Structure 1
Amino acid sequence: KDKKSKEKLPKAKSGVIADVSESQKEFEKRATQKQDISDLATDADEAALPEAELQTAGAMEAIELYKNLLVKYPYYERNDQVLYQLSRAYEETGQIEKAMVVLNQLVKDYPGSRHFDEAQFRRAEYFFTRKKYLDSEEAYQAVLDIGVGSVFYELSLYKQGWVYFKQDMYEEALNDFIALLDYKIASGFDFENIENAIEKKRIDDTYRVISLSFSYLGGPQAIVDYFDKHGLRDYEASIYSHLGEYYLETRRYADAAQSYNFFVERNPLHKVAPHFHIRVIEIYLAGGFPKLVVEAKKNFASNYGLRSTYWTFHDINSSPEVLAYLKANLADLANHYHALYQDKRLVKDKPENFNEASRWYRAYLESFPEDVKAPVMNFQLAELLLENANFRDAALEYERTAYSYPVHEKSDSAGYAAVYAYREHLKVAPQSERMVIKREIIRSSLQFADIYPKHEKAPLVMVAATDDLYELKDYVLAVKTGRKMLEVYPNAEKGLRRSAWLVVAHGSFDLTSYQDAELGYIQVLALSEKDDADREKITENLAASIYKQGEQALKLEDYKLAAAHYLRVGQVTPAAKIRPTADYDAAAALISLKDWKQAADVLLAFRANFPKHELQPEITKKLAIVYREDGKQLLAAGEFERIEREATNADLRREALLEAADLYEAGGDQDSALKVYQRFVAAFPEPIDFVLETRQKIADIFKKKNDMVSYTAQLDIIVKTDARAGKARTDRTRFLAANAALYLSQPVYDEFVAIKLVKPFKKNLDKKKAQMKVAIDTYTKLVDYGVGDVTAAVTYQIAEIYLQFSRSLVESERPDNLNAEELEQYELAIEEQAYPFEEKAIKVHEKNMELLATGIYNDWIDKSIARLSVMVPARYARPEMPSEFISSLTQQAYVPVTPAATTQPVM
């Protein structure tokens, strides 16, 4: 189990991390073994012996020679060299104890020998291997006392440190080990570029034993305390690293991480700080501390993000390992918190996990915007935002993923997701923002469809954008986009093509491009199912687009084209609700063209096709006009009668009946005209002027039919009706009544004329006088009407009454019993009786002449003038009249205007 766990220890990925793959036991055994000093040993002066003897002597023989030499020459000045050689010979023959005796004598007797430091070092090594640490310490110190001039100085420092270490004197050991490192630096040694493997190994060993010492002194805090006391060193990092790795080797994960953290906390800007931080993360991973791993990664990202202070002191490009780890670390953090956010068990932590995930995604993208994985990370950030209902931010990140990187595997998916996110945002956005969001949806949709036209959702997105444009009333772009969709995706799903065509049709209609709208609606219907619920609506729109083309033509006064379009509504969409209106307007356009025949055909078709339509009354009116204008009075009259039957407005009914009657009369159908006039007066007793006007027309028809009884009856009604009208009387009613009364007065006159002055003369004379009075009174009453023509007629008739009475007297039957004289006397008497009446006749006729002065001139006046010219030829029958009189007459006389009949336009 331990072996397996050991194999799982993380191997340092950075070269700045100490290598402690060697176990501590093996390390101490190797590091404390006797040092090979063959390359450091001083060369002995072989001249101490005869050359010939040295050449022929072996090791054992050399020992004897050196011993004899010392005995023979006890005071020889170079005996230190002899002793040195003797000690080496003993060592070569394995006689270590004897060698030490010789070395002890050498250092005792010859402290100034050039072999003194080596001898002391060899003695120290001897003592050390035998754990005689005090003796060893004394010997090493003797070398150190010589100073840096000794080639054994460095090794002595190193080994003396171990002496103290072995005696648990860790701080003393540290002093020597630190002194050794200081010595190396002072000597110009470059720890980062050690070419000699042995040197490198010794330095590493020194770091490791230092770390072990600090571990026994309390760990990283001991390092801090030591260097605070003895001064900081540039190589402290290696000490912390070795300490950390030592702890890691022994599975003391927390202590291992703490060792690195102590250094990083105190040296955050040190070049190796990020490497140490990475090692902390690796240690936590190895120890199985996920929470600590996450926290360490977060700290690493914060401390060594590309915007951190660290990089103001270091070249980013010189730290590819750190950058690579930072990149991976940011990705790990983002993915970690994203996964936690998605964990249904951690609902309460969602806000915090969302913020963390979002933070690290953004940190990654800010730090490595051009990295090959940046698009995927951007996409994941957008997904996170979408999951958190941050729809607008999600849309922006999806767009960034789709359009801000070279094409990648998520490009088109991100583009589509951006549109989706915008639409989700629209669902929850306040009303004040909806318009802006809709514009963003459209922009994003069109961008997606334009850049990724091969995406399976591109047609759908484009159609949706088209719908949005139409909803925003951007009809020009809506139609343009719809047409583009149909061009780019001619084989798109049927429903999508239908939607696109629908917007093209609707948009064109709203832009008054009704011909394009018509074509669009035709396509929509072609793409719709037979049982489509909207088929009827689309058909109505198609009809409207055709109808609108008619309206456009009508505005241009192109009535022929307008009528053609209106009629096409019924041809293309026979069941459309607007068809009746279109047919009606077609008839109106044809009427404007005065194409009476086709207009009548259209109107009659309308009547047959839409018998219950509300426009039927209007159809009747237009047919009436069309027939009237086309000269078909009887047909027109029938339509006007129909107008009267269909209308509810009294004025319209009244006018329609009058028009119908007039048309019947004009068409020669007197009977029908008479019936209509009679219906009129029966149905509309008021206003009085219309009634009397119609009564006059009835009377005229009776007169034409020579039905004088009925004629007279109508005139009588006119007179009586006017008499009862009171304030409703008008000039016209008085005119009609006056003329009717004038005609009705004729029998009175005729009766007067009919009385002949025959026997019995007196009886007939009295009767005639009485009738004359009746006649004059009857005519005199007519003057009250105030109608000039009638007044003139009355004046003429009264004058004629007087004249007729005068002539009747003259022409009266004579008595049979008179002689010639008596008869003559009778004649004179008759003439005397008749003359005054003739004079009255002249004077009354002259009254008509006076009317000339008032501007009245008519047939009755002319007849009076004619009568006067006969009765008073001297005055009125002159062939020539003074020019002054003629001038005056010309200026005064004119034909009076008869009060107009009360009429109003029928239509």
Structure 2
Amino acid sequence: MRTSRERLLLAPRPRTLAVLLLVQSLGACSMFGWHGSKPGATPDNAPTIQSLSKREIVIEPDPGIPADEDKAIAAYRNFLAVTPEADKRAEAQRRLGDLAMASADNANAANPTPSGTPDYTAAIAQYRDYLKTYPNDPTNDRVIYQLARAQEQGGHLEEALATLDLLVAKYPQTRYRDEAQFRRGELLFTLRQYPKAEQAYTLVLGGDKLGTFHERALYMQGWSRFKQGNLEEALGSFFGALDGKIVGIKDDDLDKSEALTRADKELVDDTLRVIGISLANLKGAESIPAYITSNDRRSYEFRVYQQLGQLYLKQERPKDAADTYAGFARLNPLDAQAPAMQAQVIAIDQDAGFDQLALAAKKDYVAQYGLDGEFRKANPEGWEHAQPLVKTALAELAQRYHSQAQKTKAQADYVEAAKWYRAWLAEFGSDPEAPENNFLLAEVLYESGQFAASAVEYEKTAYEYPTHPHSADAGYSALLAHAAEQKGVSGDALAPMQRAGVDSELRFAAAFPADSRTPAVLTNAADTLFKLHDNERAASVAEQVLALQPPATPAQRRVAWTLVAHTSFEAGQFDRAEKAYGEVLALAPANDPARGELTERLAASIYKQGEQARTAGDNKAAAESFARVAVAAPGSAIRENAEYDAAASLIALKDWAGATKTLEGFRQHYPKSPLQPEVTARLALAYGEQQQWAPAAAQYERIALAPTTTPEGATRARAALWQAATLYERAAASDPDSVKAGKPRPADAAANRALAAKDYDRYLKQYPSPLEPAVEAHWRLAQLAHIDGNAAVESAQMHAIFVADQNGGAARTNRTRTLGAMAALDAAQPVLEAYQKVALVEPLAKNLNLKKAKMQDALKAYAVASDYGVAEVTTAATYRVAALYQDFAKSLTTSQRPKKLSKLELEQYNELLEEQADPYVEKAIALHGINASRTTQGIYDEWVKKSFDALKTLQPARYNKTEHSEATVDAIR
């Protein structure tokens, strides 16, 4: 450690002002006398200590009266040579001294001597000669002053000092007293006679307070004391010197202040420097308050602390420097300069590597000068200046703890980092750096697991500031935060989080449509909305994905189309769903396992369109949609139902040909389908509507032959078998000459009759009861046998009808009775034929008896038929009985006559036959009459008509009349 004495010896010497003052004095002189300088006048362009050695003095010639000191001197010497008057000679000699002084000044200015010391020998000699000649002249104080000046300028410092001592001793009240004392002080200081120099400067200070030399004397007094080691007293002087220069100046950098001249700036700079040295050799900053004795000094107090702090830094004493700056801030917390001083503390601690101290200093700084500190209220202007460092300090605190947290992963560090980021944003939320710091706050929250809070800050960073480089990244990071928040969450708590995430995704996409991540973001948003059952929004967002330019990736478009498809399907927009599923399939690879399900979805969309059309009554559109399923998705499970429903729609349209084709295709493609029975029934209907009786019958046969275990099934099978038989029968009865499609050709008639007979026969075997259809089946078989000319079969079936009806008991019906009656009538036919075979020939008696017997058999047979009471059978039986009687009468009258009868006998024989025949004729007439009378009962069938025809012959007078009508003419008169 250096001693106080060593530090004093190492301190810089003050620059001398003697030369400066002499030059200024010279400037006040004229050729005819020196009038001195005005008190307090210090021209702004006066030479300074620093520039004096380099300054080149140029005296411009007077253009009006050119000056020539040599000629003037010669003139004065000539004047002295011829002038005897003492007073005039004195003035001339004094002028000669001044001219010699001026000549030396000018010569030195124009051509400096090699040694640097001007030659003032002539001036010195002239002044000394004058004093010797006029020792008691009352104006000698001026001459002595000039002599001292010439001696000092000529480098004779000790002689100059002695001359000045003479001046102040002999002329204590001279007007040059202050200047003389000041110059004495300068010479004494130069000669290192510091106590005497101090005394001289003190005498100056006791003079004119507003004089030119007062401030400089105060300054040099301080230096004189400083050189003597009287540091406390020196500081008093130095502070006094500053009082006259920098009180109230607000410029932070005095070198740039317009309130000071260049000379003043150098003086102030030196003064502050020596003050710093003095304080450093005392108690440092602790010594300063004793000298801050007024508000004026308080205005520049901070500069003293600054100077001392800078000195400590130069001396590599950072701790002392930091304490100095901190001391000012502590003592003057509301001073406008306090923030800058405290900022120096931070900078010093950082530069010195005092991390903990720097950290504490930063916290103190933001606490003292932040938004909510007292400093802002007390010193708004200073607060504005403090904010840049508050901003920096807050950012550094936040970043420090952030970096530390990333290393330690300690929650406390994350909390601290977030705290400082929030503090920064609270104060500088509108600063251009705010987005970046907001982003870092969000990062801290995310890294510490506060995902919900981080999402809020990411979104603020992305959307609440003007666009900045982190905007898109912040928006995307918010999405990651939402996703992280949702991990591990389930149940009712998850849905609100997912909705918040979707809102953030949509906000990102709206704000950054051109971002490369937007397609994926929108795709995920749409998928999430679908999972949340918000189908309408899911579809809308999916459409946004599909509308992106440039297009989204195939995978993203596939997801979007899938969502459009699903949502459209669930919304009943099946046409839109069909298109979307088609797009999805187009984007899916051929070996994609999902193709099967997608195909089923496509098929379902088309199928549902068919259902919608069917519900709306548009069976044509329904059929078309159902049919398209097989084209668009031939392997789909729903194709089976679709084809069946297509046929049903065609049936509803009565498009029987289309329905038939579709149903036959269905039967071929799906032989094991449970719908096959329905297909058969619908085919039966379709063929029937097209009058394709045989194919229709074949379908009914399938129904009838299908196995069944239920009563309903048995009933259906019985009805189908009956229908098959009747349709075959109908097919056989169709126009044999027709060549129209679907109708049997001539060769088919017999085959169809055989099929009909086969089914009727099968019916009778399987369903002998109930009675009526069984009897009807026998009847149909009889008719078919009749058509085919198979009399035996026909007779057998008719007999079966009769027997069945006769034995039917309570099961008999009108139909069975009718058919039984017809069967009875039919049964009478062979009896009638047996009667008809008997001819009345010889032996007449035998044959007549036989014929009568046969007639009785016939009458009995017809009586059985007639007894049924069936009108059409009764009329037939009545007619046939009447015809039988009529025929018997005729047979009698036309019977073979016995041989060998005479004419009379023959005539009598004939009359006898007629008499025997007449009752039969009467019976015939009576029976025909009964038939004819049935018209009154509303019965007029072919048998009644035939009875009328018979009566016309039997009773022509009654039944064979011709109606006559007379024409009338109406005349209009």
TM-score, scaled relative to structure 1: 0.67
Q: CA deviation at 1:291?
A: 1.7
Alignment of 1:820-839 (within 5 A): none
Does structure 1 residue 302 correspond to structure 2 residue 370?
yes
In the alignment, which residue of structure 2 is the partner of 1:39?
A: 20
Q: 1:672 aligns with which of 736, 748, 755?
A: 755
CA-based RMSD of the aligned residues comes to: 6.7
Letter in 2 for 1:848: R
Q: CA deviation at 1:642?
A: 1.5
Q: 2:178 aligns with which of 117, 120, 123?
A: 117
CA distance in 1, matches of 2:587, 2:242: 90
Structure 2 vs 1, CA of residues 120 and 426 (structure 1 numbering), >3 Å: closer, same or farther? Answer: same
Q: CA deviation at 1:657?
A: 1.5
Once the two structures are superposed, residues 169-200 of structure 1 have per-residue CA deviations (whole angstroms, 9 ceiling, x without a partner) of 98876665444333336899995237655532
Q: 1:258 aligns with which of 306, 326, 337?
A: 326
Does structure 1 residue 347 correspond to structure 2 residue 430?
no
Q: 1:389 aligns with which of 451, 461, 466?
A: 451
Does structure 1 residue 577 correspond to structure 2 residue 637?
yes
Structure 2 vs 1, CA of residues 722 and 340 (structure 1 numbering), >3 Å: closer, same or farther? Answer: farther
SS at match of 1:557: helix
In the alignment, which residue of structure 2 is the partner of 1:818?
A: none
CA distance in 2, matches of 1:589, 1:138: 132
Please say if residues 143 and 150 of structure 1, whose CA atoms lie closer than 8 Å, have aligned partners that are also in contact: no
Please say if residues 514 and 545 of structure 1, whose CA atoms lie closer than 8 Å, have aligned partners that are also in contact: yes
Does structure 1 residue 242 correspond to structure 2 residue 307?
yes
In the alignment, which residue of structure 2 is the partner of 1:206?
A: 271
Structure 2 vs 1, CA of residues 114 and 38 (structure 1 numbering), >3 Å: closer, same or farther? Answer: farther
Please say if residues 277 and 300 of structure 1, whose CA atoms lie closer than 8 Å, have aligned partners that are also in contact: no
Please say if residues 472 and 515 of structure 2, whose CA atoms lie closer than 8 Å, have aligned partners that are also in contact: yes
In the alignment, which residue of structure 2 is the partner of 1:292?
A: 360
Once the two structures are superposed, residues 484-543 of structure 1 have per-residue CA deviations (whole angstroms, 9 ceiling, x without a partner) of 57x757xx6x75676677678878986625885576356335x34x3x322323444565
Alignment of 1:203-602 (within 5 A): 203-208=268-273, 233-246=298-311, 250=317, 251-262=319-330, 265-267=333-335, 270=336, 275-287=340-352, 288=354, 289-295=357-363, 298-299=366-367, 302=370, 313=381, 331-360=395-424, 366-368=430-432, 380=440, 383-384=443-444, 386-387=446-447, 388-390=450-452, 392-393=455-456, 396=459, 399=462, 404-405=467-468, 417=477, 420=480, 430-432=494-496, 434-435=498-499, 437-438=501-502, 440-442=504-506, 444-445=508-509, 448=512, 450-452=513-515, 472=535, 475=539, 478=542, 481-482=545-546, 488=551, 512=575, 520=583, 523-525=586-588, 527-528=589-590, 530=591, 532-541=592-601, 557=620, 565=628, 568-569=631-632, 574-581=634-641, 584=644
Structure 2 vs 1, CA of residues 694 and 137 (structure 1 numbering), >3 Å: closer, same or farther? Answer: farther
Structure 2 vs 1, CA of residues 519 and 149 (structure 1 numbering), >3 Å: closer, same or farther? Answer: closer
Please say if residues 661 and 672 of structure 1, whose CA atoms lie closer than 8 Å, have aligned partners that are also in contact: yes
Alignment of 1:151-190 (within 5 A): 151-160=212-221, 176-184=237-245
CA distance in 1, matches of 2:295, 2:577: 96
Q: CA deviation at 1:367?
A: 0.8
Once the two structures are superposed, residues 405-455 of structure 1 have per-residue CA deviations (whole angstroms, 9 ceiling, x without a partner) of 4xx6x787667656655655676785246456436525634765x5245xx
CA distance in 2, matches of 1:630, 1:827: 64
CA distance in 1, matches of 2:859, 2:776: 32
Once the two structures are superposed, residues 42-96 of structure 1 have per-residue CA deviations (whole angstroms, 9 ceiling, x without a partner) of 78999799668998999999799979969x9987645656776787899899999
Structure 2 vs 1, CA of residues 445 and 395 (structure 1 numbering), >3 Å: closer, same or farther? Answer: farther
CA distance in 2, matches of 1:594, 1:771: 57
CA distance in 1, matches of 2:399, 2:307: 33
Q: 1:638 aligns with which of 698, 701, 708?
A: 698
CA distance in 1, matches of 2:797, 2:250: 153
Q: CA deviation at 1:282?
A: 0.8
Does structure 1 residue 851 correspond to structure 2 residue 937?
yes
Q: 1:143 aligns with which of 181, 195, 204?
A: 204
Please say if residues 194 and 200 of structure 1, whose CA atoms lie closer than 8 Å, have aligned partners that are also in contact: no
CA distance in 1, matches of 2:197, 2:586: 108
Structure 2 vs 1, CA of residues 167 and 659 (structure 1 numbering), >3 Å: closer, same or farther? Answer: farther
Structure 2 vs 1, CA of residues 48 and 24 (structure 1 numbering), >3 Å: closer, same or farther? Answer: farther
Pick which of 176-185 and 134-143 moved more.
134-143
SS at match of 2:620: coil
Once the two structures are superposed, residues 789-842 of structure 1 have per-residue CA deviations (whole angstroms, 9 ceiling, x without a partner) of 56777888999999999999999xxxxxxxxxxx9xx99999999999999969
CA distance in 2, matches of 1:109, 1:115: 12
Q: CA deviation at 1:151?
A: 2.6
Please say if residues 795 and 848 of structure 1, whose CA atoms lie closer than 8 Å, have aligned partners that are also in contact: no
SS at match of 1:184: coil
Please say if residues 182 and 200 of structure 2, whose CA atoms lie closer than 8 Å, have aligned partners that are also in contact: yes
CA distance in 2, matches of 1:537, 1:282: 70
CA distance in 1, matches of 2:678, 2:660: 13
Q: 2:810 aligns with which of 720, 724, 734?
A: 724
Q: CA deviation at 1:466?
A: 7.3
Alignment of 1:686-835 (within 5 A): 693-694=776-777, 696-701=779-784, 704=787, 705-706=790-791, 707-716=793-802, 719=805, 723-725=809-811, 733-741=813-821, 743-744=823-824, 782-783=868-869
SS at match of 2:209: coil
Q: 1:659 aligns with which of 723, 726, 734?
A: 723
Once the two structures are superposed, residues 352-395 of structure 1 have per-residue CA deviations (whole angstroms, 9 ceiling, x without a partner) of 422423553686662126xxxx8766664554454342464365
Q: CA deviation at 1:154?
A: 0.9
Is there any run of 5+ residues in structure 2 with no aligned partner, and where?
35-89, 102-118, 733-749, 839-843, 895-908, 967-973
Structure 2 vs 1, CA of residues 710 and 188 (structure 1 numbering), >3 Å: closer, same or farther? Answer: closer
SS at match of 2:593: coil
Letter in 1 for 2:396: D
SS at match of 2:258: coil
Letter in 2 for 1:710: A
Once the two structures are superposed, residues 254-306 of structure 1 have per-residue CA deviations (whole angstroms, 9 ceiling, x without a partner) of 52231342477212xx3x5654343232123134124225425645883699x
Q: CA deviation at 1:620?
A: 3.1
Alignment of 1:64-83 (within 5 A): 77=138
CA distance in 2, matches of 1:629, 1:399: 73
Higher gyration radius (CA): 2
SS at match of 1:252: helix
Structure 2 vs 1, CA of residues 503 and 253 (structure 1 numbering), >3 Å: closer, same or farther? Answer: same
Aligned residues: 814
Q: CA deviation at 1:776?
A: 11
Is there any run of 5+ residues in structure 1 with no aligned partner, and where?
4-22, 812-822, 884-907
Letter in 1 for 2:721: L
CA distance in 1, matches of 2:510, 2:247: 71
Structure 2 vs 1, CA of residues 182 and 686 (structure 1 numbering), >3 Å: closer, same or farther? Answer: farther
Pick which of 296-305 and 536-545 moved more.
296-305
Structure 2 vs 1, CA of residues 652 and 147 (structure 1 numbering), >3 Å: closer, same or farther? Answer: farther
CA distance in 1, matches of 2:198, 2:12: 17
Structure 2 vs 1, CA of residues 224 and 411 (structure 1 numbering), >3 Å: closer, same or farther? Answer: same
Structure 2 vs 1, CA of residues 431 and 542 (structure 1 numbering), >3 Å: closer, same or farther? Answer: closer
Structure 2 vs 1, CA of residues 632 and 117 (structure 1 numbering), >3 Å: closer, same or farther? Answer: same
Please say if residues 890 and 917 of structure 2, whose CA atoms lie closer than 8 Å, have aligned partners that are also in contact: no
CA distance in 1, matches of 2:362, 2:332: 17
Q: Which has the higher contact order (CA 8 A, sep 6+)?
A: 1
CA distance in 2, matches of 1:566, 1:126: 122
CA distance in 2, matches of 1:169, 1:791: 172
Please say if residues 742 and 790 of structure 1, whose CA atoms lie closer than 8 Å, have aligned partners that are also in contact: yes
